Amino acid sequence: MSDKDNKGSMTVAEAGRKGGETVRNERGREFYETIGRKGGATVKAERGRSLYEEIGRKGGETVKAERGAKFYEEIGKKGGDRVKATRGPNFYEEIGRKGGQKVKKLIEEGKRAARAAMEKEAGTAAAPEAGAAPATPDRTE
């Protein structure tokens, strides 16, 4: 039996798989990575980042409904263990220190801004009205 005689026996899925394998063998895996990146950039430019956020949220809700919240705990632990094995336990100390320094800096900036606002408000309240005589201390002579 030749290929022409067997023309209609392949499903669309089988044909797609066969075509994909042929392209992979001819052009390599990097080809798919490149066109995927280009396609993602185009979709992001046309529809915005919010599309990906919505897709991610819906996907997360589906996974949570199917597998439960415990699933996220398990994959989080696996990921954390993998990072610890790859980068070492000092990595967490380092990022914790950096995060703490950032929080400290933000708190200080917030306090400075609050003080400046209070000083500005106090300066505005204590300033004499336009056209009013300046206040003089009482003197008894």
Burial label for 83, CB within 10 Å (0-12, 13-18, 19+), is middle
- Residues 6 or more apart whose CB falls under 8 angstroms from that of 135 comprise 128
Closest C-alpha among 94, 91, 95 to residue 82: 91
pLDDT at 85: 94
Residue 1 domain flag: no
Residue 131 domain flag: no
pLDDT at 130: 55
What is the reported pTM? 0.38
The stretches in the chain having pLDDT less than 70 are: 1-8, 125-141
Residue 84: CB atoms within 10 Å: 13
Whole-angstrom distance, CA of residue 69 vs CA of residue 61:
10
Identity of residue 82: R
pLDDT at 2: 47
Residue 33 domain flag: yes
Residue 43 domain flag: yes
Residue 61 domain flag: yes
8 Å CB contact between 40 and 32 = no
Residue 83 domain flag: no
Residue 133 domain flag: no
Domain extent for 46: 14-67
pLDDT at 123: 80
Helix (H, G, I), strand (E, B) or coil at 87: helix
pLDDT at 141: 47
Q: How many domains does the chain have?
A: 1
Residue 76 domain flag: no
pLDDT at 112: 95
Identity of residue 10: M
pLDDT at 89: 84
